[in-house]
């Protein structure tokens, strides 16, 4: 196993997951509107899942001898995501913002899976499992979005 290669793949994933967990809680606290109840609950479930995945990634990094770094300043300076809106956010805007973040992490993970397969199958399997969970969440949040096609 090439520890530094694995670290270069898992460290950014940790940042993305911590950002997503914080964003899910921010949205959970501030979602409003027509789909409040279902999104409020769904966002809490997402935050719980993502916290578990981020813990798994951090522990994998530490296991292979790479320090896990998800300090506030690290996440803030290295996240690939734009800031989530402050204040109350209408439920019709929350789902697309979450879907966008989920999709970006899934996309990044596709590359990570490929790179990790050449150097560390255990880390690759971890990322594959997380990606499956992220894809399920992406599908569930996408289903919350109103149809772009008018109904007859």
- For residue 145, what pLDDT is reported? 67
Query: What is the pLDDT confidence band of residue 74, given thresholds at 50, 70 and 90?
Result: very high
- For residue 117, what pLDDT is reported? 96
Query: What is the pLDDT confidence band of residue 146, given thresholds at 50, 70 and 90?
Result: low
pLDDT digits over 37-72, tens only?
999 999 999 999 999 999 999 999 999 999 999 999
- For residue 144, what pLDDT is reported? 73
Domains recognised in the chain with CATH numbers: 3-79+89-142 (1.20.1260.10)
Angle at 131 between CA 126 and CA 132, to 5 degrees: 100
- The per-residue pLDDT of the chain, averaged, comes to 94
- For residue 126, what pLDDT is reported? 98
Query: Count of CB atoms within 10 A of residue 38's CB?
Result: 13
- For residue 149, what pLDDT is reported? 39
Single pTM value for the model = 0.93
Nearest to 60 by CA among 14, 128, 17: 14
Q: With 70 as the cut, is the pLDDT of residue 112 above it?
A: yes
Whether the CA torsion 87, 90, 93, 94 is positive or negative: it is positive
- The whole-number average pLDDT for the span 101-116 is 98
Query: Count of CB atoms within 10 A of residue 63's CB?
Result: 11
Q: Pairing state of beta strands 31-32 and 89-90?
A: parallel
Cβ(56)–Cβ(126) under 8 Å?
yes
Q: How far is CA 30 from each of CA 21, 37, 53, 90, 94, rounded to the nearest angstrom?
A: 14, 11, 24, 8, 10
- For residue 150, what pLDDT is reported? 37
């Amino acid at each position: 196993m090439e520890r530094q290669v694995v670290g270069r793949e898992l460290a950014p994933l940790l940042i993305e997951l911590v950002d997503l967990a914080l964003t899910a809680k921010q949205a959970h606290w501030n979602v409003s509107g027509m789909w409040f109840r279902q999104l409020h609950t769904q966002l809490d479930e997402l935050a719980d899942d993502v916290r578990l995945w981020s813990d798994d990634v951090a522990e994998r990094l530490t296991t292979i001898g790479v320090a896990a770094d998800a300090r506030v300043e690290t996440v803030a300076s290295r996240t690939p995501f734009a800031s989530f809106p402050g204040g109350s956010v209408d439920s019709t805007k929350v789902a697309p913002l979450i879907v966008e973040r989920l999709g970006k992490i899934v996309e990044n993970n596709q590359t990570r899976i490929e790179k990790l397969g050449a150097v560390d199958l255990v880390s690759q399997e971890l990322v594959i499992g997380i990606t499956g969970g992220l894809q399920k969440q992406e599908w569930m949040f996408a289903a919350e979005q109103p149809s772009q096609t008018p109904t007859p």
